[in-house]
Amino acid sequence: MHRHESHDACHTGVGDMLARAEAVCRERGLQFTPLRREVMEAVAEAGKAQGAYDIAEKLSAPGKRVAPVSVYRALDFLMQQGLVHRIASRNAFIPCAHGHAPGEGVVFLICRTCGLVDEASSEELEDGLDRTLKRAGFTPAHTILEVEGDCGACRERQQPS
Amino acid sequence: MHRHESHDACHTGVGDMLARAEAVCRERGLQFTPLRREVMEAVAEAGKAQGAYDIAEKLSAPGKRVAPVSVYRALDFLMQQGLVHRIASRNAFIPCAHGHAPGEGVVFLICRTCGLVDEASSEELEDGLDRTLKRAGFTPAHTILEVEGDCGACRERQQPS
DNA sequence: GCGGCGGTGATACACTGTAACACTCCCGCC
DNA sequence: GGCGGGAGTGTTACAGTGTATCACCGCCGC
Ligand SMILES: [Zn+2]
Ligand SMILES: [Zn+2]
Ligand SMILES: [Zn+2]
Ligand SMILES: [Zn+2]
C-alpha cells in the first residue's frame, strides 16, 4: 500500500485511472500490456510529475531492470492515447484523469512549492488564443501552456493569516 | 556580411538589437562584456532559434574555443535582462526586439516548416488566462506559452491557390 | 599591496532523449 | 504443422542539453 494523502491534483483514484486506461485501450483495439500498465500505475501513484528515469528506477527491482528507453516507449503510447501528459518545463509526466476532447486547450498549473500539477481548461482562454493566432496569420498545430506559481493550498500554508 | 533575407520574425536589424542591449546594460549599471555581445550577436543574426551548443560552435574558431557553459552563462544574463527568450519546446533561444513590460504575457509562434519564431501578445489572451488562474485559485509566477504550427508565409507557399 | 567580487576558462558530470539491432510472442496464412 | 510479419520489449550505445566545481584574471576599493 502506498501512502497517498488526498490533495487537489488527484481527483481520481489510481484504480480508476488504471481502469479507464484499460477501457480506452480495449475500445480502440490497442494492447494495454503489463509494462504499459506498470508505467501508468507509477505515474498515477506518484502524486506529482515524474521523470522518465524516476519511473524506470521505481519499476526496477533487483533482478528485473526496466531501462529508461522502455519507459519512454510506454509513455509515448500513453500520451498518444491521452492518458498521460508531458510537462515540458519539468521534463516530466503526469496522469490525465480528464479525457479531453481532441484539440481541447489545457493549462498546466505547476506549484513550485509542493510540485503538484493541476489541469485547467477554459473556453474563454481558448477563444482568446484562437483570435490572437488568427490575427497573426498563424495556423496552430500544437500548443504548450504551462504556468508555474503557487497553488491555493500552499499559499494558505505560507500565510496562515 | 551575413546573408539576411527579410522575414517576419525580424522586425529589427542586428545592429539595432545590439545597440539596445548595450543601452539596457549601461542604464542598469551592468556589464555588456565582449562575450555577452558575441552571444547576443549570434542569436540576433541567426534568423531562427539557436541552441546553446550551436552558438558555442559558431563563436569558436581554431585557437579560440568557447565552451557551452560560457554561452549558457551569457544567455542567462541576457534572459534576465529580457534581451533574449528561451523557447522551451525547442531548447533554443531567440532575440527579443520588443522590450516587454515586466509580467507582460507573450506567445511564441513557432513555424514547424521554416523554423522562424515570432512573438505575439494580446490583452484579451492575458485577461483570459488571469481569470482562469484566479478561478483555479492559482497565483502565477511564470508562464510558458508556445504554439507550434505554420506561419502565414509558409502556408501560402504550400498552397499557391 | 590586498581582499573581494564579477566574469571567464576548463573539466567533469548529470540528466534527458533517441537510434539501432536482436529477440520473443502472437496471429494469420499456406 | 510450417512460415512470415508485425507489435512489443530488452539491450547497448550514443546524442543533446544543462550544471557543479574549481581555478584564474582583472578591476576596484580599502
Ligand atoms: Zn488532461
Ligand atoms: Zn502547492
Ligand atoms: Zn520578446
Ligand atoms: Zn514558416
Buried b (16+ CB within 10 A) or exposed e, A22-56: eebbeeeeeebeebbebbbbbbbbbbbbbebebbb
Place of cell 565582449: B34
| In chain B, ranges of CATH 3.30.1490.190 domains | 106-158
Q: What is the dihedral of CA A25, A31, A35, A41, to 10 degrees?
A: 10
Chain A CB contacts of B89 under 8 Å are: 88, 144
Per-residue pLDDT of chain B (161 residues; tens, 9 = 90+): 444 343 444 467 899 999 999 999 999 999 999 999 999 999 999 989 999 999 999 999 988 999 999 999 999 999 999 999 999 999 999 999 898 887 788 999 999 999 999 999 999 999 999 999 999 999 999 999 999 999 999 999 887 65
Quote the strand ranges of B29-123, DSSP E.
84-87, 92-95, 107-111, 117-120
| In chain A, ranges of CATH 1.10.10.10 domains | 9-95
Q: How far is it, in rounded angstroms, from Cα B13 to Cα A60?
A: 54
DSSP B64: B
Q: Is B138 helix (H, G, I), strand (E, B) or coil?
A: coil
Smallest Cα distance from A56 to chain B, Å = 23
Q: Which ligand is nearest to the CA of A154?
A: 2
**Could you tell me if B74 and B36 are in contact, meaning their C-beta atoms sit under 8 angstroms apart?**
yes
What type of residue sits at position B50? Q
pTM for this prediction: 0.89
Q: How far is it, in rounded angstroms, from Cα A120 to Cα B47?
A: 35
A143 in reach of chain B (CB within 8 A): yes
Chain A CB contacts of B151 under 8 Å are: 137-138
Q: How far is it, in rounded angstroms, from Cα A27 to Cα A24?
A: 5
Place of cell 547576443: B40
Smallest Cα distance from A8 to chain B, Å = 11
- Residues 6 or more apart whose CB falls under 8 angstroms from that of B97 comprise B10, B11, B12, B16, B17, B20
Place of cell 515586466: B102
Smallest Cα distance from B85 to chain A, Å = 14
Residue of chain B with shortest Cα separation from A112: B141
Closest listed residue to residue A151, CA positions, set A49, A11, A7, A5: A7
A119 in reach of chain B (CB within 8 A): no
Architecture of the structural domain at B9-95: Orthogonal Bundle (1.10)
For residue A60, how many other CB atoms are within 10 A of its CB?
Answer: 14
Partner residues linked to B29 by β-bridges:
none
Q: Quick one: cell of B21? A: 542591449
Cα–Cα distances in Å, from B121 out to B14, B97, B106? 22, 13, 5
Suggest the residue from B110, B122, B138 to mutate for an interface test with chain A (most A CBs closer than 10 A). Answer: B138
- Residues 6 or more apart whose CB falls under 8 angstroms from that of B138 comprise A109, A111, A118, A120, A147, A149, A150, A151, A152
Closest listed residue to residue B100, CA positions, set B116, B124, B84, B117: B84
In this prediction, residue A161 carries a pLDDT of 59
DSSP B112: T
Q: Which residues touch strand D (CB under 7 A)?
A: A 30-31, 33-36, 65-67, 69-70, 73-74, 77; B 51-53, 68-69, 72, 86, 91-92
Q: Do B141 and A125 touch (CB under 8 A)?
A: no
Encode pLDDT of A45-72 as tens digits. Answer: 998 999 999 999 999 998 899 999 999 9
Return the CATH number of the domain spanning residue range A106-158: 3.30.1490.190
Chain B CB contacts of A124 under 8 Å are: 128, 131-132
Per-residue pLDDT of chain A (161 residues; tens, 9 = 90+): 444 343 444 467 899 999 999 999 999 999 999 999 999 999 999 989 999 999 999 999 988 999 999 999 999 999 999 999 999 999 999 999 898 887 788 999 999 999 999 999 999 999 999 999 999 999 999 999 999 999 999 999 887 65
Cα–Cα distances in Å, from A2 out to A5, A46, A122? 10, 9, 33
Q: Which ligand is nearest to the CA of A117?
A: 2
